[in-house]
Chain A
Amino acid sequence: DSGVTQTPKHLITATGQRVTLRCSPRSGDLSVYWYQQSLDQGLQFLIQYYNGEERAKGNILERFSAQQFPDLHSELNLSSLELGDSALYFCASSVDGRAQYFGPGTRLTVT
């Protein structure tokens, strides 16, 4: 158990819908990272937050957004969902950036 929690574990939704994925980092970790794992794109960095502020963006679509709250938990919002958004979404956290610890992931299926 990495200490990072993610909810829900599985999500099935229809095209055009909007979903919110939630992540709670390890106690004391200020940085949260979101990654997407899909069969065709592999593991890709989406976005990073540090202590409530956006730190960096990767290959994140404009339909996706995220935030980190004062209690350091983070949410990833995916809207206008398309079939191609079906993937495993991971959250990771770190205290000093040397090592990132991953949550169990949320499997999103868009039908």
Chain B
Amino acid sequence: AQTVTQSQPEMSVQEAETVTLSCTYDTSESDYYLFWYKQPPSRQMILVIRQEAYKQQNATENRFSVNFQKAAKSFSLKISDSQLGDAAMYFCAYRNVGGATNKLIFGTGTLLAVQP
């Protein structure tokens, strides 16, 4: 069974600085998707960024980028120029390609605080 591990329960960053959140996963599949979701205090789950495993190029969305290391099964999220609105819980998630279900498997989350 696939698992997702986020080893940093909490992180803190100064406004305008850069922070990296870690995620590792375990799978025997070769094709899959990886995601980062943000959950602010409102509790809404917001898709931040996604990465297809077959793509070597790291995904980027504005100030958010990932470092995808397939061999190491690592998928970290870098937030540049951190803003107060980035304060939230961040979840890493995995999804198989194909198979009977597209269910997401989530990590336990990293709570990011942004200091003014």
A contact set with B: CB distance below 8 Å: 2, 31, 33, 35, 42-45, 48, 55-56, 58, 88, 90, 92, 94, 97-102, 104-105, 107
Contact = CB atoms under 8 A, between A and B. Distances in A.
Contacts of B105: 45
B110 to A, nearest CB: 13
Contacts of B108: 42
Interface of B: 33, 35, 37, 42-47, 50, 52, 91, 95, 100-106, 108-109
Contacts of B52: 98
B44 A104 contact: yes
Contacts of B101: 45, 48, 55-56, 58
A43 B100 contact: no
A56 B103 contact: yes
B50 A99 contact: yes
Given A43-B91, A97-B95, A58 B103 contact: yes
Contacts, number: 57
B102 A88 contact: no
A44 to B, nearest CB: 8
A104 B45 CA distance: 7
A35 B50 CA distance: 19
A100 B44 contact: no
A90 B37 CA distance: 13
B44 A99 contact: no
A97 B44 contact: no
9 contacts: A31-B102, A56-B100, A56-B103, A92-B104, A98-B33, A101-B47, A104-B42, A104-B43, A105-B45
A48 B103 CA distance: 8
A92 B45 CA distance: 9
A42 B109 contact: yes
Nearest to B43: A105
Closest CB pairs A-B (n = 3): A56-B101, A102-B45, A97-B102
A101 B72 CA distance: 28
Contacts of A100: 47, 102, 104
A55 B101 CA distance: 7
B103 A88 contact: no
